[in-house]
Homo-oligomer: A and B are copies of this chain.
C-alpha cells in the first residue's frame, strides 16, 4: 500500500497520487486507506518519513575520517539521492499540509538532523570558531547545496547535466572551504 503510493510519487509526482488508485492497487477499499493513514496528508507524510529516513541513512553512511572528504561526500550523496529520487524529495520539500495543521515534529527533526550532518566535519575544520556560529554555517552550507541541487535538477528550467552538476557542486564546496581558510585536501581525487 505504501509501496504503491511511493511508486506513484516517484514516477509521476505528488500531484498524480490518488486515494482511489492506492486503494485499487492494494486491492482494498477506499475506507481502509483512511483507517490506515487518517487522511490524504497522513499517506503523503508516511511516504515523506520514509524518504527522509532513506536520505539520512545514506548521509550518515558517508565516511568521516577526513572532514573535507566527508563534506564532499555529503554533497555528492545528497546529489545522488536527489537525482535518483527527484520526485520523492520534491514531495518532502514542497508538500504543504491541508489547512494550517502543523508540520509533524518527527519529520522536522529528521530533516534538521540531516542538515546538521555538516556540523561535525566543520567543527573539526574550524576548531577555533564559536560552535554556535559553526552550527549556523553548517545549516547555511547545506541549504546552499540543497539549492544548487534542487534547481540544478529542475527539468522545467533547463537542467544542468548531472555530471556537470556534480563537478559544479564539488567546485562549490572547494571554493567555499577555501574561503573559510581551509587548505584544500590534495589527496582527494579530481572533480574538475
Tell me the A residues contacting B by CB distance below 8 Å: 13, 15, 94, 96, 98, 103, 108, 111-112, 136-137, 139-140, 143-148, 150-152, 156-158, 160, 164, 168, 171-172, 174-180
Instruction: Write the nearest CB–CB distance from A17 to chain B, whole angstroms.
Output: 12
Instruction: Write the nearest CB–CB distance from A140 to chain B, whole angstroms.
Output: 5
Q: What are 16 inter-chain pairs, A to B, with CB distance below 8 A?
A: A103-B156, A103-B157, A108-B156, A136-B160, A136-B164, A137-B168, A140-B168, A140-B172, A143-B147, A143-B150, A143-B151, A144-B144, A146-B147, A147-B150, A175-B180, A176-B179
Q: In the assembly, what is the distance between CA of A143 and CA of B151, in Å?
A: 6
Instruction: Write the nearest CB–CB distance from A123 to chain B, whole angstroms.
Output: 17
Q: Are A157 and B13 in contact (CB under 8 A)?
A: no
Per DSSP, are chain A's interface residues mostly helix, strand or loop, or mixed? Answer: helix
Q: Write out the residue numbers on chain B whose beta carbons fall within 8 Å of the beta carbon of A156.
A: 103, 108
Instruction: Write the nearest CB–CB distance from A102 to chain B, whole angstroms.
Output: 8
Report which residue of A139, A164, A175 has the largest number of chain B beta carbons within 10 angstroms of its beta carbon: A175
Q: In the assembly, what is the distance between CA of A162 and CA of B157, in Å?
A: 28
Q: Quick one: given A96-B15, A175-B179, A179-B179, are A140 and B136 in contact (CB under 8 Å)?
A: no
Q: In the assembly, what is the distance between CA of A164 and CA of B133, in Å?
A: 11
Q: Write out the residue numbers on chain B whose beta carbons fall within 8 Å of the beta carbon of A157.
A: 103, 108, 111-112
Q: Quick one: given A144-B147, A144-B172, A146-B151, are A96 and B13 in contact (CB under 8 Å)?
A: yes
Instruction: Write the nearest CB–CB distance from A92 to chain B, whole angstroms.
Output: 11
Q: In the assembly, what is the distance between CA of A46 and CA of B160, in Å?
A: 26
Q: Write out the residue numbers on chain B whose beta carbons fall within 8 Å of the beta carbon of A179.
A: 174-180
Nearest residue in B to A13 (C-beta to C-beta)?
B96
